[in-house]
Amino acid sequence: MIIQSDWHIHSENSYDATLTLEEIARKAKEFGFKRVGITDHANFNDDKFLWDLKSSANSVRTFQKKYPEMILGVELTPIEKPEFDYIKKHGTRQGYVPPVINEPYALELAQTKDQLIGYGVRYAIGAAHWRVDVPFAKGLPVDIDAMIKEWYRQQLWLACDERVTILGHPWYNGKAVWYDDFSIIPRSMNMDIAYALKENKKYVECNEGVLCSQKASEKFRRQYAEFIRELFEMGIPVTYGSDSHKEYACRHIEMEKILADVGFKKGDFSEIKEKDFWG
């Protein structure tokens, strides 16, 4: 079995998930996973997301008494610095209007490393989810070149940030704009990200939701698996993340086959080392 542990799972404490810790633990034992990491979302620094993070931490802490193989993590996503500053001042995102500027917004994450450790978080997945470069980007028409440039910027930034343990679902895109042919992503960008990961001693995630996406072509799946394999061969440790929200690791067997086809075998996927946990 190539996949040994799952380091990216969302529980019912995430705004977009319904899985209970009981269900996650039961399925993980059934699949033979050694460890599972609960990484509920902390997208913004507002009261709603911080309450979700606190609830996640309390739930995992209680559940660990009967299932110590469960580890508390968090998923962080880059947000625009002006919005972070507005929330810090007002405690809410309501009323925020993005300023018009002539360059991409600076990036920020919802919490500092010390704040996360204070909640009991042991590690963090950092992952790009949307454009954070221009005002009202979510409402703009799809611009593939601009999106590639922006995902590259965010992922390179995450690969260098001290709060990030694992670069989550590299090149995930909710609109699947490059899920037909991964080769439209310039190799130079992938190598820049790879060198940053290696230099900063980060892990990279092979994400079930990306590799086995129903929106992805078979060509993309093969290319993406080969990309992850190349990172592994460069010495970057690779972790598995189911990124489960409502059904647990439902395509991990399919994922195993794709991984085996590009040369992965038992022992290639990494556990997070004890020295890389916080606290």
Any bridge partners for residue 123, and if so which? 73
Answer yes or no: is 1 within a domain: no
Asked if the structure places residue 60 within a domain, the reply is yes
Q: Report the C-alpha gap between 265 and 256 in whole angstroms.
A: 9
Task: Supply the CATH number for residue 112's domain.
Answer: 3.20.20.140
Domain membership of residue 126 (yes or no) is yes
Domain containing 160: what range? 6-276
Q: For residue range 46-85, what is the model confidence (pLDDT) as tens digits?
A: 999 999 999 999 999 999 999 999 999 999 999 999 999 9
pLDDT score, position 138:
86
Question: Does position 36 have pLDDT exceeding 90, yes or no?
Answer: yes
> pLDDT value at position 211?
98
Rounded Cα distance, 38 and 266, in Å: 23
Instruction: Domain count for the chain, please give it.
Output: 1
Distance CA(40)–CA(18), nearest Å, equals 11
Residue 175 has pLDDT above 90, yes or no: yes
Please calculate the CA angle 247-249-252 and round it to the nearest 5 degrees.
Answer: 145
Q: What is the mean pLDDT of residues 181-190?
A: 98
Has residue 48 been placed in a domain? yes
In terms of pTM, does the model score above 0.75? yes
* pLDDT tens by residue, 92-113: 999 999 999 899 999 999 999 9
Average pLDDT over residues 173-177: 95
